[in-house]
């Protein structure tokens, strides 16, 4: 059994020590945390409960002893990119602006077929777009019954940011059907286009 002695430490130090120890442990191993103040004991318990690990707490005099068995993984930093501007190496500095839901000029049916091929191929290419912007009828590609929804979700998971024009969603009354990306506005979209290395208009 591993022991973390956080006596004499004030939050957040006991939290940091506990989380570090848990990360280094293997599954089903037991950890004992010693603490000497109420607040730290409560906060560490709270954190472990949030990790869905069962905790038992005993108190002897002024010393709290917290015992926890590691059941499952400590949540990882899976959404860091949502908060921090981390540049993904796999992502190039170009942006695609979808201004309609077809590709090229000519026969309408062909336009849809080509657009599907275009988007479905994107996850396969090495240079993935940094961001994709959906404007006007382009928003129909980002809603529930879009023919390219799966490919867009894949790209989003790979780190391509998807911005969908909020005014357009409102205009077509599709805001509730948005299925990928986030609602954006002209200011952010303009900034994306203006700072892109290059912009593709399919």
Partner 1 sequence: MKSFDLLSTVVDGGCSCKLPAQELAEVLANLPGTPHENLLVNTDHHDDAGVYKLTEEMALIQTTDFFSPLCSDPYEFGQIAAANALSDVYAMGGEVLTALNLAAFPAKIPLTILKEILRGGIEKVKEAGGIIMGGHTIVDDVPKFGLAVTGTVHPAKIITNAAAKPGNVLILTKPIGAGIIMAGHRLNETSDENLQTVLDTMKILNRRGSQIMQQYGVKAATDVTGFGLAGHALKMALASQVTLKISPANLPCFDTAYALVETGCIPGACFRNLDFVEPHCRFEPTTSFNQKMLVLDAQTSGGLLICCPSSSVDAMLLDLKKSGYPFSAVIGEVVEKEEKALVVG
Q: How far is the CB of 171 from partner 1 (least distance, A)?
A: 12
SS3 110: helix
Cβ distance to partner 1 smaller for residue 17 or 112: 17
Cβ distance to partner 1 smaller for residue 21 or 115: 21
Site for partner 1 in 79-108 (CB under 8 A): 79-80, 82-84
Question: 108-121 vs 149-158: helix axis angle to the nearest 10?
Answer: 30
Cβ distance to partner 1 smaller for residue 102 or 166: 166
**Contact with partner 1 (CB under 8 A) among 24, 62, 63, 75:** 75
User: How far from the centroid of its chain's Cα atoms is residue 82's Cα?
Assistant: 5
Q: How far is the CB of 27 from partner 1 (least distance, A)?
A: 18
Site for partner 1 in 143-202 (CB under 8 A): 166-167, 170, 182-183, 185-188
Q: State the residue for tokens 């560490």.
A: 44
Buried b (16+ CB within 10 A) or exposed e, 117-150: ebbeebbeeeebbbbbbbbeebbbbbbeebebbe
Task: Confirm or reject binding of residue 15 to partner 1 (CB under 8 A).
Answer: yes
Task: Confirm or reject binding of residue 16 to partner 1 (CB under 8 A).
Answer: yes
Q: Which of 39, 50, 32, 53 is nearest to 10 (CA)?
A: 39
Give the integer Cα–Cα distance in Å for 19 and 24: 9
Binding mask 17-56 for partner 1 (x = CB under 8 A): xxxx------------------x--xx--xx--xx-----
Task: Confirm or reject binding of residue 110 to partner 1 (CB under 8 A).
Answer: no
**Contact with partner 1 (CB under 8 A) among 58, 77, 126, 157:** 77
Which residues, other chains included, contact 93 with Cβ-Cβ below 8 Å and sequence gap of 6+? 130, 196, 197, 198
HEC readout, 30-50: EEEEEECCHHHHHHHHHHHHH
Judged by CB under 8 A, the number of residues near partner 1 is: 34
Which residues contribute to the site for partner 1 (CB under 8 A)? 10-13, 15-20, 39, 42-43, 46-47, 50-51, 75, 77-80, 82-84, 166-167, 170, 182-183, 185-188
């Amino acid at each position: 059994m591993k022991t973390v002695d956080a006596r004499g430490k004030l939050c957040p130090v006991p939290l940091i020590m506990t989380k570090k120890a848990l990360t280094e442990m293997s599954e089903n191993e037991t950890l004992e945390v010693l603490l000497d103040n109420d607040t730290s004991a409560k906060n560490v318990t709270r954190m472990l409960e949030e990790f869905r690990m069962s905790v038992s707490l005993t108190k002897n005099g002024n010393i709290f002893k917290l015992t926890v068995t590691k059941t499952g993984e400590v949540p990882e930093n899976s959404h860091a990119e949502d908060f921090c501007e981390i540049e993904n190496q796999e992502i190039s500095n170009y942006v695609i602006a979808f201004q309609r839901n077809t590709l090229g000029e000519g026969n309408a049916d062909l336009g849809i077929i080509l657009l599907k091929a275009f988007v479905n191929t994107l996850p396969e290419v090495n240079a993935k777009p940094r961001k994709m912007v959906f404007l006007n009828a382009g928003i129909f590609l980002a809603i529930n019954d879009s023919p390219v929804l799966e490919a867009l979700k894949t790209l989003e998971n790979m780190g391509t940011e998807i911005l969908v024009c909020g005014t357009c969603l409102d205009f077509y009354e599709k805001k509730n059907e948005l299925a990928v990306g986030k609602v954006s506005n002209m200011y952010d979209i303009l900034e994306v286009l203006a700072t892109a290395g290059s912009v593709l208009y399919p």
